[in-house]
A and B are shown apart, each in its own frame.
Chain A
C-alpha cells in the first residue's frame, strides 16, 4: 500500500496570506466561519482542524499592526465548541508553553479530549519574552535559552498528569514544583496528540523527543526532503521509529480549470495578499527598520538590514529570517535581474503558493511529496475565510482517494487512530 497522506485544515490566520479584501471573505471571529471550515474538512475526511495562537496583537514600528486580519478566538474554547459540530475530525490547537501552567493546561486538554471523544491535539509553541509577558503575571520571565527546557519539562509534566488517571502526582524540575491530585481520569487518547512548531535545532530536538507530529515551514521540495531527513534522523537517539513522528508542512494551493488559469488566479491572489502598504511592511520585517518613506513601486533600499534580533521592528511574530544580510542580497539581486519594484519583488519572494494547477496536477504533486519523503502530509492554509477549502475538498480529495493515498471513510474515532499513531 502506498503511504497515506495526512491532511489538516488551518483556519486562515493573521498573516497577509489571508485575503480579507476579497468580497468572498467572511468573518474571522464569528463561530459560523469556524463551523464552515471544520465541516468542510470533515466532509473531506481530513485528519484534523488546526488553529494558531498569538498571545499579543502584533505590532510594527510600535503600533498595532492593522494591515492583516487582527483578532482571533481563544484556542481551547473554540475547539470545544467545534467538537459539537463535528464527529471525527481532530481538533488541534496551538498553545504556548511559556505562559500556561501544566496542571491547568493538562486538565483543559484532558477535558477537550474527553468532550470530543479522543480528538484533541496540542501544538506546543514557545513564544516568550517581555513583549508577550506584558499580558501575563510573570512578565518576560523566561530567557530565550530556556524556552525549550521549559517546553520539554511542560510536556513531560503533562504526560505525567495524564498518566495518573485522576490520581496523585509530584513533579519537581527546573521549571515546576507541583504536587497533588490530577483532576481528570484517563482520556480516550490517553495523551492528546502533541505537535511541535519551531525550527531551531532545539525545536527539532524537542520534536524528536516528545512530539507526534511537526508543523513545519519547509515546503520547497528539496528543502522539505532535507528537513524530513534531519528530524527523522534524530529519532533513534530517543528509541523512536521513523513513522512515530509525522512531518506536516503548512502549504497553500491554487486550483484552476487549466494550469494557465491557475497561474493567473495565483498571481491575482498574490496581488491581493501584498497590497502596496503590505509590501513595505514585509520589507521592513527583513530590513528590521522603518521603510515607510519608500515607494512600493520604486526600487529596494541600498543599505543593509539592521541586525538586532532583540529589538525587531515587528513584535509578536516568529522570526522568519535567520540570515538577514544574505536574504537581502538575494532579494536585491533578483529585483535587479528582473527589474522589479518593491511590491513586485515582495510578491515574487514571499509566501508564493506551493501547489498551483489543475486539481489533477495538484493531487499528483501532493502525492509525489509524500511518496518521496518530503513530508507525511500537509496542513492546508486557505487564503479565504471560511470557504477557502471548498474547492480542494470537492476536486482534489476525490483524486487522492482514487490514487489510493487518502481515506474514503474514517476508520477510527480518535485523532491518534487517524494518524496511525500508537
Chain B
C-alpha cells in the first residue's frame, strides 16, 4: 500500500489568486487532499468559502476546510459542507475544531466559554447532527413523477429529531444528499480524549518519530485513518532549509532538509501503519518544493501513487457511505 499525501494550507490571504495558485499546485501534483486552516475568530477568510472558491478550478484534489463547532449552528455547518461536496463533485471533507478561547466566545456574545470536556461533548453532538442531516435525504428521494405531480418521494426524506444537551435539530436538511453521501470528517488530535467520542474518519496526529507514530496507530480505534503531520522546510541545499527553520517549534515534528531526506523520513514512518502524511509547508516556497520535488521522489520510491478514484472517500479507501435512514426503513 502506498501512502496518501496531503498538504495543510495555513495562509490567511484574502486574495483569490493566492488560493487558486496553491490549490492548483496540489491538484496538478495529484495530492490526495488539502486542508484549509481556520478558527472562529481567525484573521483570515472563511475556510469553507475558500474551498468552494477553488473547487470549480480543480479536478482531483480533495478539499477539507476547518470549521468550528463551538459558536456555530450545526445546521449551517451541515448544509455548507454538503454544498461544498456538490460544487466539488464529491471531493469535500470537514476538519472539526472546537474553540476554548474566551476572546472567541466574546465574538458571539451570548455564551460563556465551555470547559474542555463540554467542548468535546458539544463537538460530538455537532458531528452527529451534521452526519444525520447528510443522511436525511435518501439518494433517490427526487422522483419527478409527473403522473402524481410529485417532485420528491417524501417518505425518503427524514426528520433527524436530534435532542441533545446543547441543541436540538429537527431536519431534514434543506440540501439534497451530497454526492459522497458522507463527506470525509477529520480532526487534529494530540491525545486520546477525542478518539472514542468523535465520529470522524481521519485523525491528524503529531508524532515525534516512528515509534510514537506507531503508538498513535495502535491506540486510535480501528477503522479510522491516521495521518501524521510534519512541518516541512525543504531545500535542495540542506543547510539553507535548516537556516530557514531557525528556532521554529510546532505541535508536529519539524523537518528541515532536502526532499530526498524527507522521503527517507516518510519511508521510515510508513511501517508504523499510518494511512498517510499531511505536510505543513514551513514557509513560502515549500508547497512548490513539495509538489515539484518531493512528490516525484515519493513516486519514484513507490511511496505515493496518485489515486484514480474521483471521490475523496473512495480515494481514502473509506467504504461507501450507508444511509442510516435507508437502512432503518428497510429493516
A residues at B contact (CB < 8 Å): 20-21, 29-31, 35, 54-57, 63-64, 66-74, 76-78, 80-81, 83-85, 99-101, 103-104, 107-108, 111-112, 114-117, 134-137, 139, 166, 176-181, 183-185, 187, 275-278
The interface residues of chain A lying within 8 Å CB-to-CB of B80 are 74, 76-77
The interface residues of chain B lying within 8 Å CB-to-CB of A56 are 170, 174
Shortest beta-carbon distance from B60 to chain A in Å: 16
Let me know if B322 is at the binding interface, CB within 8 A: no
Shortest beta-carbon distance from B132 to chain A in Å: 12
A67 and B46 within 8 A (CB): no
- Measured between alpha carbons, how far is A29 from B84 in the docked complex, in Å? 12
Q: Which of B68-76, B206-214, B224-232, B234-242 contacts A (4 or more CB under 8 A)?
A: B68-76
Q: Report the count of interface residues on B (CB-CB < 8 A).
A: 62
B residues at A contact (CB < 8 Å): 14-16, 19, 40-46, 48-50, 52-57, 71-73, 75-76, 79-80, 82-84, 86-87, 89, 103-104, 106-110, 137, 142, 144, 146, 148-154, 157, 166-172, 174-176
**Shortest Cβ-Cβ A-B pairs, 3 listed:** A134-B170, A80-B52, A77-B83
- Which of A67, A70, A108, A112 touches B149 (beta carbons < 8 Å)? A67
The interface residues of chain B lying within 8 Å CB-to-CB of A177 are 109-110
- B interface, over-half SS: mixed
Shortest beta-carbon distance from B102 to chain A in Å: 10
> If the complex has contacts A54-B174, A81-B53, A176-B109, are A111 and B45 also in contact, measured as CB distance less than 8 A?
yes
- Measured between alpha carbons, how far is A177 from B110 in the docked complex, in Å? 7
Sample of 18 more A-B contacts, CB < 8 Å, known A29-B86, A73-B79, A183-B42:
A21-B146, A29-B176, A31-B89, A73-B82, A73-B83, A73-B87, A74-B76, A80-B53, A81-B56, A101-B109, A111-B50, A112-B49, A114-B15, A114-B16, A180-B106, A184-B43, A187-B14, A276-B149
- Measured between alpha carbons, how far is A179 from B16 in the docked complex, in Å? 28
- Measured between alpha carbons, how far is A104 from B104 in the docked complex, in Å? 11
Shortest beta-carbon distance from A355 to chain B in Å: 27
B87 and A83 within 8 A (CB): no
A275 and B149 within 8 A (CB): yes
- Which of B41, B55, B76 touches A84 (beta carbons < 8 Å)? B55
A108 and B71 within 8 A (CB): no
The interface residues of chain B lying within 8 Å CB-to-CB of A76 are 49, 80
- Measured between alpha carbons, how far is A83 from B20 in the docked complex, in Å? 12
